[in-house]
A = this chain, B = another copy of it.
């Protein structure tokens, strides 16, 4: 099927389910056949990204590259990666494959700029924080990036690993506290800059959609846009030749 989108997932699996679910619910479709074609790798033995970046853990790049190639071989014409921290290796992955890769930091930043807000909170992994993946982008636009202090960041990380181990309830309690602390520090909107966070804060974002920018949702919306463009081009070619 034309326009096949490959999902390099499993980092973690619950975040990949969330992305897939958002693809299905955000797509306007009247029947199965109108949905967006996806091939999803949720092979979770990719080494932990934060461990690799901060604690000299094994690099995830070889397996990420391997699974990326599986998706390309299966016919994917565009790749999305529902893991913010993995975007540290974005350039290496882009070089390793021959198709488009949408960048979650870019798709999220586009939605941040569209809000016209000045004070942007950030919930993300230690590694995403350390790399400045979002802070640099936010500050380069002359916006104020509000992040948790050291003790709070430990709680954010604890919550993310609690979700990964299946304890969503406890993860949610902790993450809601940390979101509230960012609002108290002046955040007008909070970037959920780790794809586990929208899973953890599912109830909160449903109740207050305008208070959060969900990186997974932004990636899905950009993917649907990519797909629609791809199909428009396809139709132009058919009209021209037919």
Q: Which A residues contact B (CB, under 8 angstroms)? A: 1, 4, 10-14, 16-17, 20-21, 23-25, 28-35, 37-48, 70, 73-75, 161, 164-166
Contacts and interface: CB of A to CB of B under 8 A. Distances in A.
Nearest to A31: B164
A33 B17 contact: no
Nearest to A4: B43
A29 B165 contact: yes
A25 to B, nearest CB: 8
Contacts of A34: 44
Contact of A75 (B28, B44, B70, B164): B70
Contacts of A32: 10-13, 44, 46, 48, 164
A14 B10 CA distance: 19
Contact of A40 (B12, B35, B38): B38
Contacts of A31: 48, 161, 164-165
A38 B16 CA distance: 11
B42 A20 contact: yes
A37 B43 contact: yes
Nearest to A168: B25
Contacts of A165: 29-31
A107 to B, nearest CB: 21
A33 to B, nearest CB: 5
A65 to B, nearest CB: 14
A70 B17 contact: no
Given A17-B20, A73-B73, A74-B74, A37 B42 contact: yes
A39 B37 contact: no
Nearest to A196: B32
10 contacts: A1-B45, A11-B32, A17-B17, A30-B165, A37-B44, A37-B45, A38-B41, A38-B42, A39-B43, A40-B42
Contact of A21 (B17, B25, B37): B17
The 10 closest A-B pairs by CB, nearest first: A12-B32, A40-B40, A37-B43, A35-B44, A38-B42, A32-B44, A13-B35, A30-B165, A13-B24, A1-B45
